[in-house]
Amino acid sequence: MTKELAGMYAALMTALDDAGEFDPVRQRALNDYVLRQGLAGLYVGGSSGESGLLDRAELEAQQAVVAESAKGRAGRLIAHVGMPSLRDSIHLARNAQRLGYQALSALPPHAYPFSDEEIFAYYRDLAAATDLPLIVYEVPVRTGRPIALDMLVKIMGLPNVAGIKFTSTDLFKFSMLKRRCPEKVFFFGFDEIYAAAGALGAEGGIGTTYNLLGKLYVALDAALKSGDLARAQELQDISQVFVEALLDIGVLPGMKAGFAAIGIDVGPTRAPMLLRGTDGAARMAEVMARPDISAWLA
């Protein structure tokens, strides 16, 4: 099933009510929008979903609401279950399996400066906790350091490990890892440079901005696979304009302001995360109204 997981996945956001609590009603509206975009599926409960600010019960509730929304619709579900505690990660993994998710993923343990061997043991135990394929994760911007190439190869060799979400600009390392583990599936996690990784053999992407512009990323991936590099660059340029605006006002608050601008209320981000500047919402509304952006809305 490893290569069957390939494709473009929205790193699904989490809808909150006005008080900052998980809101199943708003989550269903968000799910419906994202599921209409022709993506390969949803990546549920990751950093884009504010998982570092949610507790295990909220993440379980979100898993259930998303599984309900996806029932009878095209697309696969990958549950991100990486929490600071291995115990909680395993609990989330088993909950996702009960709900019918097709795969799991997890950040490396990140609450402390864990050694490579501790990271390996975490993935070993998590991979053994269910029979679902596991997508491991290289994300130095979140964990504070890269995992050594040899250790990544060792982790990728664990039973049930199907592939990796590679969220690093070290594309030489990406290529070396891909050559060493050709049977695994490789996802890339930086939306704004997906074309570069796609040209080097990424078999899919998992990204935050896919929530709003999933159709664009599906087209970008298709252009790469057909060898139309000019079209891929054109689409990546649009993506970069969008990401640049988000970086200026805050990625997740900006994404939520973007949803508000098109009439979908997914609530605020959870404190202490805030939209930057007094005009952030207005600036995001202007971005969403750009013809090159609005053309890709679902």
pLDDT, tens digit, 9 for 90 and up, residues 193-234:
999 999 999 999 999 999 999 999 999 999 999 999 999 999
pTM of the model: 0.97
Going by C-alpha positions, the residue among 212, 161, 215, 217 that lies closest to residue 189 is 217
186 domain residue, yes or no: yes
User: CA-CA distance, 13 to 42, in Å (whole number)?
Assistant: 10
What burial letters (b/e) apply to 20-45, b meaning 16+ CB within 10 Å?
eebbeebbebbbebbbebebbbbbbb
Question: Which member of 33, 122, 137, 217 is catalytic?
Answer: 137
259 domain residue, yes or no: no
19 domain residue, yes or no: yes
Question: Residue 76 forms beta bridges with which residues?
Answer: 41
Q: Which residues contact 21 (CB under 8 A, 6 or more apart)?
A: none
Q: Is 17 helix (H, G, I), strand (E, B) or coil?
A: coil
pLDDT digits (tens, 9 = 90+) for 264-284: 999 999 999 999 989 999 999
For the CA atoms of 176, 84, 42, 141, the dihedral, rounded to the nearest 10 degrees, stands at -50
pLDDT digits (tens, 9 = 90+) for 145-164: 999 999 999 999 999 999 99
Q: Which two tokens stand for residue 242?
A: 């969008």
198 domain residue, yes or no: yes
Is residue 165 annotated as part of the catalytic site, yes or no? yes
Q: What is the structure's pLDDT at 227?
A: 97
8 A C-beta contact, residue 66 and residue 100 = no
Q: What is the structure's pLDDT at 1?
A: 55
pLDDT digits (tens, 9 = 90+) for 250-265: 999 999 999 999 999 9
151 domain residue, yes or no: yes
**Residue found by looking up tokens 């590679």 in the block:** 166
Question: Which member of 165, 184, 215, 256 is catalytic?
Answer: 165
243 domain residue, yes or no: no
Region 231-243 average pLDDT: 98
CATH code for the domain in which residue 196 is found:
3.20.20.70
What percentage of the chain carries pLDDT values higher than 90?
97
Average pLDDT taken over every residue of the chain = 97
Amino acid at 78: I
User: CA-CA distance, 35 to 50, in Å (whole number)?
Assistant: 19
28 domain residue, yes or no: yes
Q: What is the structure's pLDDT at 62?
A: 98
User: CA-CA distance, 32 to 289, in Å (whole number)?
Assistant: 21
Confidence of residue 111 (pLDDT cuts 50, 70, 90): confident
User: CA-CA distance, 205 to 228, in Å (whole number)?
Assistant: 18
286 domain residue, yes or no: no
93: domain range? 3-226
Q: What is the structure's pLDDT at 126?
A: 98
Considering Cα of 21, then 252, then 234, then 3, what sign does the dihedral take? Answer: negative
Is residue 33 annotated as part of the catalytic site, yes or no? no
Number of domains composing the chain: 1
